[in-house]
Structure 1
Amino acid sequence: MPPTASSDPPADPPPAIADGAALAEFRAFLDRHPDIAHVDGLFFDLCCVVRGKRYPIADAGKLFVEGMQIPESIALLDVTGDCNDPLGRGFSDGDPDCIAVPIPGTLAPVPWGDVPSAQVLLTLVTQEGAPAMVDPRHILDRVVRRLAADGLTATVAVELEFFLVDPERGPGGAPRPPLSPVTGRRDLRTQVYGMADLDDFQLFLRAVESACLVQGVPAFTASSEFAPGQFEINLKHVGSALQAADHALLLRRVVEWVAERHGFEATFMSKPYPDQAGNGMHIHMSLMDADGRNLFDDGGAAGSDLMRHAIAGLQAAMAESMAVFAPHANAYRRFAPNLYVPVNPTWGYNNRSVAFRVPASGGAARRIEHRVPGADANPYLVLAAILAAAHHGIAARLDPGEPVTGNACETVDATLPWTWRRALEALGTGTILRRYLGGEYLDLYKATKWIEMEKFQAVIAPHEYDWYL
C-alpha cells in the first residue's frame, strides 16, 4: 500500500474536523503538555491490530486540520497483516484512500515511552466526510443509532482476561507462565482470586493502573484468574457503547506495552494453553430510557420483561454471532464443558455456567452479563452484535424460556457452530445481524476471515509430520 504522495494538494478539511474543535483540543493539550515530541494517530482494524502514523510535533497539527489520508483497505487486513482483496476491496479497486480523523476526547499522553509523546484515536470517513463503512467503530455506531431511534441507550462495561507469559518460549514455541518477580520461580498452580499472585505482580499491575489513569481508561479492579499468569481487569460502566469499546482496546494496548516494559509478554489470545482456562471478554450491559432509567429493572427480584426479551434476542442471534465472538481457529478451543465457558444459549440468575448471566445486583444495577466472546475479539463488533441481538429480541418480544439453575455448561449444544468454518457459514446465512450491522460489511468480514482461515489451514503444523510422515 503506497503512502499518499507528499506532492498532493491539501484537501478540504473533512466535516468531522472542519469546525476547528479538533485543532483547539490539540492546542489546549500542548499547553498542558509542552514537552510532547510526537503524536501517534492510531486506530484498530478488524483484527484489533493498532495501526496509524507518527507525527513529529511540528507537523502534528495537520492531523487535527486535514486528517490522515490512508488506504481504506487498511481496515480489512487479516491477522497476518495481508490485504487479501476481499470482494475486490484492495488492489482490484485501486486501493483508494479514506480519511482518518481524530475522535474528540481521545487525545492523551503515552506514559510508557522513553520520549514524551501522545496518542489520539482515529475513525475513518470517506473523502466526502461520510462514515467509512469498513471501520468497525462505525458499525457499532450504526447499531447505537438504531437503538437511539427507539429511545434506548446502552450502559456497558467490559471485563478482559489476559495472560502474562515468559518472553522465552517453551518447546515448539509454546507459551510458558512468567517467572515471579518476587520469588524468581515459575508458578504452575491455579489459585483463582489468589492475592499472592496480585502481590507478586503488583509493580506491573500498578503500572497498568497508572497508565490507564493518565489515558482516561476507567480500569478499577484486577483479579487473578483460573490459570497461572492469568489476570482479569474490569472497566467501569459507561453510558456509551462506543466509549466502552474504545476503553477495551486502549486497555489492551496499555497492558501489552506495560508488560513489555516489565519483562513479560501479555496475550489476549483466547486459548494459549490447551489444558488451562481461556481468556474471555465479558460484556455487562443494560438499556436506559431517555430519562436514564434502567429498563431491565421493574422493581421486582426477577428483572423486567424487556430484559428477558433482550436475553431471548441474544439466544436467537448466538449462532450467527459466533464468527464475531470467536474470530479465528484458536478461539474455538476455549469452548469446552465445565470450564465456566458457555457451550449453549442458556441464561440464569447469579450463575456463571450460563451464556447470559443476570448478576445478583438488582435495582438500578440490573444487567445482563454476556459471557460468550473471547478476549481477542473486536469489541466494536462484539458490542454491535450484542446490542443488535438484544434489540431484535425486544422488538419481536421473544421469550428466553426458563432460567437455568445448577451447572449449565455440562452439555454442548451441537446445533451451534463450534468450528471456525461453521461459524463463518452461519454468519453468512444469518438474518438478524445483517439487518443491523449491514450486509455489505458482514460479507466483507466473512470474506476477510474466510481467506485467513484458508491461509491458516494451508500451514502444516509440526504434529502433522509427527503423526503422518
Structure 2
Amino acid sequence: MCGVLRGKKVPVTALDKIFRDGLTFPGSLFATDITGETVEETGLGFADGDADRDCFPVPHTLDPVPWLSRPTGQVLLAMQDLDGSPFFADPRTVLANIVNRLKADGLNPVVAVELEFYLVDRKRGEDGRPRPPVSPVSGKRQDTTQVYGIDELHDFNELLHEIYDTCVAQGIPVDSLVSEYAPGQYEINLRHVSDPLEACDDAVLFKRVVRSVAAKHGVEATFMAKPYPDQAGSGFHIHMSMLDDNGVSLFAADDPHGTPMLRHAIGGLGATMADGMAVFAQNQNSFRRFQPNSYVPHAPTWAANNRSVSLRIPPGKPKDRRVEHRVAGADCNPYLVVAAVLAGAHHGIQRQIDPGPPIQGNAYDKIEPTLTSSWIVALEQLDSSAFYNEVFGRRFLDVYLALKWAERDKFFSQITQLEYDWYLNKV
C-alpha cells in the first residue's frame, strides 16, 4: 500500500509450480505501514485470521536481476481473494477496475511516467542528515544546483549507464535522463505505453533498479519526496492521453490546448484533485514538497507549456497532445496515483466539465493555494469524498485510511530533536 515491494526468495526449480499453482502470501501484506508493521485496524490482520491468499505472476515481469553476482530473476505477483477474484485491497486491482471502466466507454489510456530521485552519500553529515555523494570522477561533493548540467551527468556516468543497461535487460522503457534542480538530483523518464498497469509495473521496478544499482556503486538512491528542506522535492509526473478503439488519439489537435475532450479531462482532474491529496501525498514528508515557486502546484490550475501549473499540456506535434499531471511525489504508490488520474479524467469526460480559462504566466502569483498541505486534512477529505468512495470503493478506502491514520498517529507520537532544541530549556 505504501509502494514498498515485499516478497519471497525461492529456488528456480519452483518457478513452474508458481506459474501453475501460484504462491501464497497473507493478505495482511496490504495492511503493512511504511515501517513494515501490520495495522490491525485494516481488518486484514488477525481479524481475518491473517489468512493466506494465492498470488500469480504478472505477465511480462519475469526478468533477470543483473546487479546481483549470483544469477537471479524476479517476477511480480498479483494477489487473488479467497474466492479467486482479484484481491480488493491490492492497489493494482483498483487501477485495473478503473482501466476497465474507461475501456467500456471506448477510451484507451496511454501513460508515461517521470520519476525524480536523489543520490545521497551512505555516510550522513555531522548533523546526522543526508548529503550529496562525492563524485567518483572529480572527487568533489556536488553542492550547487545545475539543472540540466552535463558535468553532473558525467559525475556518476558509470552508475547511470548501469541503470540504463539494467532497465533494458528488464524491459523497462527508459528514455531521457537529466540532472535536476538540486545537487545529486536526477530525473529519468519512461516512454509511454498503452497499458497503464504495465506503466505502473515499470515504475515500481524502475525504483528497485535505481536503488539497487546505486547501492552496488557505493551510494544510496532515495525517492523520498523532500529529503532536504532547502532543496527541490522529487515528483512523480504522469503524462496521459486517450485513444479510441482504432488507436486514434482523442486529444490530438492543432490547437495547443487540445480537443474539447482533453479540456474536459482536465476539468475532471481539477475537480477531483483536492479530494485525492492523501493519494498524491501519502505521508508527512510528502507535503513538504508544496512550497511556493518550487515547481510543485498549489491549486488545480492548467495551461499549455507552463510548468507553474498542476495540469500542463506539453508542447509538441498535434498527434502528441496529452496532459501532464504534476502533483504527486516520487514516494507515492504509482498504481493508486495513476488510478486517481485516470478516474478524474474519465469523470471530466463523462460530465463534460469545463476547466475554465488556462493560466497565463506564473500560476503561483495569480492563484491562491487551495490544495491542502496538511496530512490530516487530506485524509479527512479522502474519507468524505463521494468521488473516491465510488471509484476506489469504500471497502478499499477503509483499508487505506485505517493504515494511513495509524501511520500518522505513529509518526506524531515521536518527539523530534528540534522540539528538544526549541522547548526543553526555554519553556
TM-score, normalising length from structure 2?
A: 0.97
1:141 aligns with 2:119: no
Aligned CA distance change for structure 1 residues 299 and 406 (closer, same or farther; 3 Å): closer
Shift of 1:412: 6.7
Moved more, 433-442 or 395-404: 433-442
Instruction: State the alpha-carbon separation in 1 of the partners of residues 128 and 84 from structure 2.
Output: 45
Shift of 1:183: 1.1
The aligned residue for residue 315 of structure 2 is 360
The aligned residue for residue 36 of structure 2 is 81
Cα deviations across residues 338-385 of structure 1 (Å, max 9, x unaligned)?
A: 111101111001000000000011311100000000001000000000
CA contact (8 A) 1:161 1:232 kept: yes
CA contact (8 A) 1:337 1:412 kept: no
The aligned residue for residue 201 of structure 1 is 156
- 1:83 alignment partner AA: T
Instruction: State the alpha-carbon separation in 2 of the partners of residues 423 and 314 from structure 1.
Output: 16
Instruction: State the alpha-carbon separation in 2 of the partners of residues 275 and 414 from structure 1.
Output: 20
Instruction: State the alpha-carbon separation in 2 of the partners of residues 202 and 253 from structure 1.
Output: 19
CA contact (8 A) 2:253 2:319 kept: no
The aligned residue for residue 25 of structure 2 is 70
Instruction: State the alpha-carbon separation in 2 of the partners of residues 87 and 177 from structure 1.
Output: 38
Q: 1:216 aligns with which of 140, 152, 171?
A: 171
Instruction: State the alpha-carbon separation in 2 of the partners of residues 349 and 412 from structure 1.
Output: 16
Instruction: State the alpha-carbon separation in 2 of the partners of residues 111 and 453 from structure 1.
Output: 37
1:185 aligns with 2:135: no
| Counterparts of residues 393-408 of structure 1 (less than 5 Å) | 393-408=348-363
Aligned CA distance change for structure 1 residues 328 and 301 (closer, same or farther; 3 Å): closer
Shift of 1:444: 1.1
CA contact (8 A) 1:358 1:369 kept: yes
Unaligned runs of 5+ residues in structure 2 are none
CA contact (8 A) 1:336 1:412 kept: no
Aligned CA distance change for structure 1 residues 148 and 355 (closer, same or farther; 3 Å): same
Q: 1:104 aligns with which of 59, 64, 68?
A: 59
Percent identity between the aligned chains?
51
Q: 1:330 aligns with which of 285, 302, 306?
A: 285
Query: C-alpha root-mean-square deviation of aligned residues, in Å?
Result: 1.1
CA contact (8 A) 1:177 1:187 kept: yes
Cα deviations across residues 310-339 of structure 1 (Å, max 9, x unaligned)?
A: 001111111111100000000100001111
Cα deviations across residues 26-54 of structure 1 (Å, max 9, x unaligned)?
A: xxxxxxxxxxxxxxxxxxxx111111111
Aligned CA distance change for structure 1 residues 88 and 411 (closer, same or farther; 3 Å): farther
Shift of 1:69: 1.0
1:266 aligns with 2:221: yes
CA contact (8 A) 2:258 2:321 kept: yes
Q: 2:326 aligns with which of 371, 375, 378?
A: 371
Shift of 1:299: 4.1
The aligned residue for residue 296 of structure 1 is 251
Shift of 1:228: 0.3
Instruction: State the alpha-carbon separation in 2 of the partners of residues 338 and 58 from structure 1.
Output: 54
Instruction: State the alpha-carbon separation in 1 of the partners of residues 327 and 239 from structure 2.
Output: 12
Shift of 1:440: 1.1
Unaligned runs of 5+ residues in structure 1 are 1-45
Instruction: State the alpha-carbon separation in 1 of the partners of residues 35 and 309 from structure 2.
Output: 33
CA contact (8 A) 2:3 2:333 kept: yes
The aligned residue for residue 32 of structure 1 is none
CA contact (8 A) 1:389 1:433 kept: no
Instruction: State the alpha-carbon separation in 2 of the partners of residues 166 and 157 from structure 1.
Output: 30
The aligned residue for residue 468 of structure 1 is 423
Moved more, 418-427 or 51-60: 51-60
SS at match of 1:101: strand
Aligned residues: 424
Instruction: State the alpha-carbon separation in 1 of the partners of residues 117 and 198 from structure 2.
Output: 21
| Counterparts of residues 13-28 of structure 1 (less than 5 Å) | none
The aligned residue for residue 161 of structure 1 is 116
| Counterparts of residues 202-351 of structure 1 (less than 5 Å) | 202-351=157-306
- 2:246 alignment partner AA: D
Higher relative contact order (CA 8 A, sep 6+): 2
Instruction: State the alpha-carbon separation in 1 of the partners of residues 366 and 358 from structure 2.
Output: 16
- 1:224 alignment partner AA: S
SS at match of 1:265: strand
Aligned CA distance change for structure 1 residues 204 and 193 (closer, same or farther; 3 Å): same
TM-score, normalising length from structure 1?
A: 0.89
